[in-house]
Amino acid sequence: MKEKTAEDVSKYVKQVADKRGWILHPNDDGTLDMLVDGLKDYYNRVGYFNCPCRDSYEDMKFDRDIMCPCDYAQPDIDEFGRCYCALFLDPDFDFKVEIEMIPERRPEEKW
Ligand code: SF4
């Protein structure tokens, strides 16, 4: 398997955002870089883009719902304006509001 670089992953998340009509975290505090790095590390270790904010089973069968973009991203963006990690945001996201933790939508038995 060819290792992904941060540039590969940045390109991937940009494509996802464009395709889904979302925007990326502005990276004013380094969050975007950190999440891209987390996705890269997971990919190079387990072979898929496991959510960088969640633990991985390291088995695609069990992690399918949290492969980025996860199954919970759209409902979270609809309700809170951002995905769980705040990698993807609604284009109308209000940047005056502090980005806080949102509830985990993944069923608890899968944590
Ligand atoms: S919460 Fe965001 S970063 Fe994490 S998998 Fe879902 S879409 Fe990707």
User: Ligand 1 centre from 99 Cα, in Å?
Assistant: 15
In this structure, what DSSP letter does residue 24 have? Answer: E
Q: What is the pLDDT of residue 97?
A: 82
> What are the average pLDDT values for consecutive 10-residue runs of the chain, which has 111 residues?
95 98 96 98 98 96 97 97 97 87 93 83
Q: What is the pLDDT of residue 95?
A: 86
13: three-class secondary structure by DSSP:
helix
User: In the structure, which protein residues have their CB atom closer than 6 angstroms to any atom of ligand 1?
Assistant: 35, 51-53, 66, 68-70, 73, 83-85, 87-88
| Amino acid identity at 15 | Q
d(CA 71, CA 29): 26
DSSP string, 33-82: HHHHHHHHHHHHHHSS-B-TTS---S-HHHHGGGBSSPTTHHHHHHHHSB
Q: What is the pLDDT of residue 87?
A: 98
**Ligand 1 pocket: which of 20, 48, 70, 78 to mutate (most atoms <8 Å of CB)?**
70
Nearest Cα to Cα of residue 1 among 53, 29, 32, 42: 42
Q: What is the pLDDT of residue 98?
A: 80
The answer regarding whether domain 6-103+106-110 maps to CATH 3.10.28.10 reads no
Measured from the CA of 84, which atom of ligand 1 is nearest?
Answer: 1
**Ligand 1 pocket: which of 64, 77, 85, 93 to mutate (most atoms <8 Å of CB)?**
85
